[in-house]
Structure formats: C-alpha cells, structure tokens
Structure 1
Amino acid sequence: MQLHWRAISEDAPGPKWAGLFHQYWPDYHRWWAREGASARPGYLDSRKALRAHMPELVPIYDQLVELSGGTDHAARFLSFYCPPPYLSGCSQAIWPGAEPMLVRNYDYSAKAFDSLILRTNWQGRAVMGTSDGLWGLVDGINDAGLALSLTFGGRRVVGEGFGVPLILRYVLQTCETTAEAGRVLARVPTHMSYNVTVIDAKRKFLTALMAPDRRTQITHQAVATNHQDRVEWSSHARFTATVERERYLLQRLTLHVESQDKFVRAFLRPPLYSPRFDEGFGTLYTAVYRPRARQMELRWPQAAWPLDLHDFREDTRIIYTPEGRAAAE
C-alpha cells in the first residue's frame, strides 16, 4: 500500500483550499450523505450550533463555505455538526523527559484519509497539523507551542455535538496553554467519545475524556488508547488491542526515562504499530510534536518527514507501508 502525502501552506482561506475541497468533496459527500442528507442537521441548525459553541470559527466557516461553492450539503458538512459516526484505533503518550514531546500513532483506513498536512495562519494564528475534513485536525500544533492529538474513546454512543477534528482546530485557533485547552474541551459538545491529549511549551499536559452523554473528564493521564476509564465496547477493545497497548505504554513510562528517539521508535513496532491495513486499522503514520521548537515530525518504519511551523515547506511524499514496498519491489 502507498499513501500520497502533501504538505500545503495557505495563510488565509483561498484558492489552494478551494482546490483541495473540490478534489476531496465527492468522496466526503458520499460519506456524509450515506444515511441520506435528512439524517444530518440542516444548515441553519448547524451554523447556530457553531455560533453557540465555537463563535470564533464562524468567520472562517463562512469563508470556507463560500470557497466550497456555497451548496447546502457542503455547508452542512463543513460545520462538522452531528456527522456520521466514524472509528479509529490510535495510541498517544507524553514522553516522560524534561523536554515537552507528544507522540501518537494514527490507525485508520487509508481510503478515508486526507494524507494532508495543512499549515494555516487564519485570524493571525499559525497552525499546522494532520487534516481531516479539510479544516479539522486529528493532531496539530500552534504558534504558542500548544500541541494535541486524539484517539477514539471506545464507546458506541452517538449524540448531538461536533466531530472532534473541528474541536481540535478550535482549540489550536483560540488557546495558548493546556489550561485554556482544558476549559474548551470541557464545554464543547462532541458527537462521539474521544480522548484528547494536550501539551504546551511549559510541559503542562492533560487528557480530556470526552463523550456525548456524560461530562468531559479532565485527567492528568499521560497515555491514551481506545477506551476511557474502563472498556465499554469489548469487541472493539479486542480488535484494537487497546488494553494491551495502554499497558505497554504505561510500562515504558514507569521505567527509567528513555531517549526521545528510543521512545518514538517504540511506536513503530508492535504492539503499538498496527499492520492491519486491509481491515481499516493500519498505522498510517506516527507523529511527533515538540512544542518548544514548534515542530512536528511524521515517522514511518522506513521514512521520516520533519516539518517546522515557522519554516514550513510545501512538499509531496509517497509513503509505502512495509507490505506495500515489498509488493512494489
């Protein structure tokens, strides 16, 4: 298997973003409307919810809707309000050394993945991260040195709220510290259960256990996989080995402090690294965030791609999984 990655920078919403939208929209539209458009909230309700919970994003949202062509379905999709359910299997942890560092694996279907790093300067706040839904993020960092990432929380409950990638975008657009991020994560409703780990340049960190049917728990957990306080979806837990991955990471944190590189390399091997690409839960990438340096790095077993928020360079990469490289050769 191979993934065609791109790193794209555009300070304000403009032609680059519009081009991306029109390229990705047919696939996203099929996903968004798979249960029928009537299953999703209408435009007025979607924009009202966005204005109520994330008002600072409304001017950006309006710009993106216009760039998308302004259709009803595109506007409703871009609100991220009550989207269709989606699942992932991921691992994330805070390195126990003195330097702030967040490492995460993103385990998901390659067929439903943007393979896109976006660097923006919307409203004067520089942000870069891994795109989802073309303005949401599954992980990212901003110019204040705030970094965060998400994992699926391992629960089947679906409720009224936003797709979590837009919540991550909102945090990075409006917050500078972990404490500020925690307050946002505690109040913005999510449509499914997710664990969001946040770290800032002073190495303050938290993990928010978010859910649509109960209050968000703000914890000091340095590790998150695909369950919350306890396993509530046993078949998903077995399939993703969420408990085994959590135990493995917790054991590493209780040993003597490893070097940064050794800690990162652990994410590139089982049990953290997943080769289950045919089942939609392969590890598409490992991301390393260094808040003080305002840098991120994407890692794979046979490749690395460093990116700098203040020296961001547009580029493209073709990344093979080990299985895909063997097939290509």
Structure 2
Amino acid sequence: MKRSVLFGSLVAEGSRYQVGQAYAAQLRQNPLLRQINLLPEGEEVTGPALRAKMRLLEAAIPGLGEEIAGTSEALGIRPGRLAIFSDRCCQPGRCSQIAALPAITRDGHLYLARSYEYGFADELCLCVTRAAGSPAQAGFSLLLFGRMDGMNDRGLCVTMSTCSFLQPAEGEGLWFPVVLRALLERCATVAEASDLLAQLPLRTNDVFLLADRSGRARVAEMASVGGAHRLSFRDSERWLVATNHYQNEEMRPFDNHRGRHSVRRWKIARRALEEGAGRLDGPALKALLERPMPDGVACPYYQDGLGTLRSMLFNVTAGRLEVCFGAPTGAGWTPVSLQGACENRIFSVEVESRAPRDPASFWTFLPPGDEDEGDDWQSAY
C-alpha cells in the first residue's frame, strides 16, 4: 500500500518570542502539525496544572515560556491549548541509533547515523532554530517545542529511541522531547549532557545517544517505572548502537518488552560496524541506513508503526548533517545547515507499506536480556 506523508521544514530565529511566532506560522500552513499540537478545547490544561507544567518546562529550557507565548498569541489561543502541556501525543516510535567512533572510521571522524520509524501520521517537522543567546541547532520537533534528535553549533549531537512499548513512563518529571531539547540548548559536550541528565527530573523510558565533536560518544538509558527512576550510561572507544530495548545489565528489571525486531536491528548494525572497521565513512553508513532488513536497518512496515520516515547522518566532527526524507531506499539526501539558508516549506513524500512475511515471529517479545540467537530469523522479513 502506498501513501503520502507530509513533511515540513522551517527556520525559526530572532528572540524567543519570534521563534514562537515562526512555529505558529508553520502550524497555520500544516494541517497535520496543527492536529498533533493543538489540544481540543475540552482538553485544555488550565490553573495549577498549567502553572506547574510551565515551571517545569522553563526550569529545563530557560526562555521556553517566551516561545510558548509567541506561538499562542500569534494563533490567538490560550497557552494551555498547546500539546506541550499534555504528553498524550508522545506515542512510541521505533528507531535505530548508530555511532562509529574515530577509532574505526576511515577519516578519523565521529559519525552518528539515525533512522526513525513510525506509522504514516507523525509530526515530521525539521526545525533549524537560531534563538538569540542560545546555540543554533537543527533537529526534528515533537510537541513543537521539544526535539526528537538534533545537533547544535557547539558540537553536541543527540538522538533517541524509545523503550516505552506497553510500559508508559510514570511519575512526575520531564518527558524525552523536552529533555533532548534541554541538552541541545544547554550543553556542548557529552560530559555536560551526562551531568545535566543526572540533574533533570526525568519521566521517560528512552535511550539517548550522545556525541560531540571531540570524538566522544555515550549511550544513556533511562527508565521511570513503578516509582523507580534509573539512569545508566554505556561508553565505547569504537562503536555504539541503540534500538528499542535496554542493553545495560542494570536496566534488566525494566527490559519488559524486548522486541525481536529491535534485537535484530541492533545486531545488524553491530555486524556492519565490526566488519567495516577501518573503512567506515559517510557513504558506508548511509548504505546501512538505506538497506532494508535483514541487510540494513530500513523498515517498510508503516501500517504496524515500523516504517522508516526519515534517516539522518551526522558528521559530528565536521558539524554536518544530511537528512533523507521518507524511505531511504532509492531516495536522495539533503544537507542541512545550522547557519546558512534553509527553505521554509511543506512537502509530501510517497512511501510504500508492506507486512512482514511471518508477523508472529517478527513481532515476538523476548525475555529480558535475550539476544535471540536462533538461526531462523531471516525468514520473518
């Protein structure tokens, strides 16, 4: 089945208030973005709940309140109509994150490759943000003001994947798009980002991949379940991979919905990094993103929420970003500049969905920590 998916791209710059006004302009033009980010009047957040959320957001991202004011006033709505105050829209996507560190790349650069998988309808808005007094940054939005990934001009790059399937985050605190935006706003290095993660009140079951232009990378696994909150890091001098399950031993108690497809994508990426050590570069990592499973990490299962909607390649050392909109198989790559011109536009891309050959096997949940060592997995695709 073929469907068109709607993308947007914008540059928001100037004061925080002007950045918010730019978001409002994009909302007016993009009906899907409007549907996702404006709450029905009956669901508007008001009173003490609104004030508490605003304090939480402003503490994490100083100046965010001005952006929210710019958006709400430009649209002529009360701030509580904006979905940033209600995490009802944070449905779990499925992603692959891959870091090739300088020790194994051909040119000694650090690369971060990322694919994002979901269904047909998603926010899909690439934002280049240049707010006065803050680092310039580029990444895809979630709840308009949050980010799902990105890189700033100080050299920090952050991507994410979720482990929230059938296990929503619990308790009070910040959900992942706000946390990720806070890192891009306030940090320049992996060390700074790690320290900030340890300080922020987290309410998220997600995995971040952090990288900086010095050549360092780190995985941060986070869980907020049943009153327990845990943050666990994993480092490497060669490569790092994260998909949609926890890998760290101390996160085993939270690894309750470990999908076979997630473990397989993790192993596909690991194999490519280990076998390509010394020869890896931008084209090699793009090829890994472009090849469909089981040879790469691209996925065509849009109807089931596992269709590749975008792929991203960050040359973290050089501060360069390229994006492939839609399915990466046969599509082109678009460079994105943090400082130069970037087109404000809305456009559609056609993708084609299919089902796995063996859905029962493909969608199986594995026990915590299970590495799925069986030899019959390729027939599932």
TM-score by length of 1: 0.85
Q: How does 1:87-166 map to 2 (within 5 A)?
A: 87-96=92-101, 97=105, 98-111=108-121, 113-124=122-133, 125-154=135-164, 156-159=167-170, 160-166=172-178
Whether the 8 Å contact between 2:120 and 2:302 is mirrored in structure 1 is: yes
Whether the 8 Å contact between 1:20 and 1:134 is mirrored in structure 2 is: no
Which has the larger displacement, 129-138 or 182-191? 182-191
Match of 2:84 in 1: 78
Match of 2:209 in 1: 197
Closer/same/farther in 2, CA of residues 135 and 14 from structure 1, 3 Å limit:
closer
What secondary structure does 2:268 align onto? helix
Which has the larger displacement, 61-70 or 243-252? 61-70
TM superposition shift of 1:302: 1.9
Match of 1:327 in 2: none
CA–CA separation in structure 2 for the residues paired with 1:164 and 1:57: 16
TM superposition shift of 1:322: 5.1
Match of 1:223 in 2: 241
Match of 1:259 in 2: 280
TM superposition shift of 1:168: 1.2
CA–CA separation in structure 1 for the residues paired with 2:164 and 2:115: 16
**RMSD of Structure 2 on Structure 1 (CA):** 2.8
Closer/same/farther in 2, CA of residues 171 and 61 from structure 1, 3 Å limit:
farther
Structure 1 runs of 4+ off > 4 angstroms?
36-41, 82-85
List runs of 5+ in structure 1 lacking aligned partners: 325-329
Match of 2:262 in 1: 242
Kindly provide the amino acid, as one letter, of the partner of residue 268 in structure 1: E
CA–CA separation in structure 1 for the residues paired with 2:94 and 2:13: 31
CA–CA separation in structure 1 for the residues paired with 2:89 and 2:337: 33
TM superposition shift of 1:202: 0.9
TM superposition shift of 1:11: 0.7
TM superposition shift of 1:237: 1.0
What secondary structure does 1:293 align onto? coil
Q: Does residue 364 of structure 2 align to residue 320 of structure 1? A: no
TM superposition shift of 1:38: 7.3
Output one character per residue of 1:30-71: Cα deviation in whole Å (capped at 9) or x when no partner: 5x899x557998211111222444445444444444444351
TM superposition shift of 1:315: 5.3
CA–CA separation in structure 2 for the residues paired with 1:59 and 1:143: 22
Name the larger-Rg structure: 2
Q: How does 1:17-28 map to 2 (within 5 A)?
A: 17-22=23-28, 23=30, 24-28=33-37
CA–CA separation in structure 2 for the residues paired with 1:323 and 1:284: 11
Output one character per residue of 1:247-290: Cα deviation in whole Å (capped at 9) or x when no partner: 22222222233332122211222131111011122011111112
Whether the 8 Å contact between 2:24 and 2:72 is mirrored in structure 1 is: no
CA–CA separation in structure 1 for the residues paired with 2:313 and 2:60: 30
Closer/same/farther in 2, CA of residues 115 and 274 from structure 1, 3 Å limit:
same
Output one character per residue of 1:136-180: Cα deviation in whole Å (capped at 9) or x when no partner: 111111111211110002450422222311211111111111111
TM superposition shift of 1:85: 4.8
CA–CA separation in structure 2 for the residues paired with 1:33 and 1:274: 37
Whether the 8 Å contact between 2:11 and 2:128 is mirrored in structure 1 is: yes
Kindly provide the amino acid, as one letter, of the partner of residue 120 in structure 1: T
Identity over aligned pairs, percent: 22
Whether the 8 Å contact between 2:21 and 2:67 is mirrored in structure 1 is: no
Which has the larger displacement, 291-300 or 102-111? 291-300
Match of 2:57 in 1: 50
TM-score by length of 2: 0.74
Closer/same/farther in 2, CA of residues 250 and 78 from structure 1, 3 Å limit:
same
Whether the 8 Å contact between 2:89 and 2:143 is mirrored in structure 1 is: no
Which has the larger displacement, 275-284 or 307-316? 307-316
List runs of 5+ in structure 2 lacking aligned partners: 355-381
Closer/same/farther in 2, CA of residues 217 and 56 from structure 1, 3 Å limit:
farther
| Alignment: residue pair count | 316
Q: Does residue 172 of structure 2 align to residue 170 of structure 1? A: no
Output one character per residue of 1:10-40: Cα deviation in whole Å (capped at 9) or x when no partner: 213154321223443333345x899x55799
Whether the 8 Å contact between 2:45 and 2:81 is mirrored in structure 1 is: no
Closer/same/farther in 2, CA of residues 15 and 61 from structure 1, 3 Å limit:
closer
Closer/same/farther in 2, CA of residues 141 and 273 from structure 1, 3 Å limit:
same
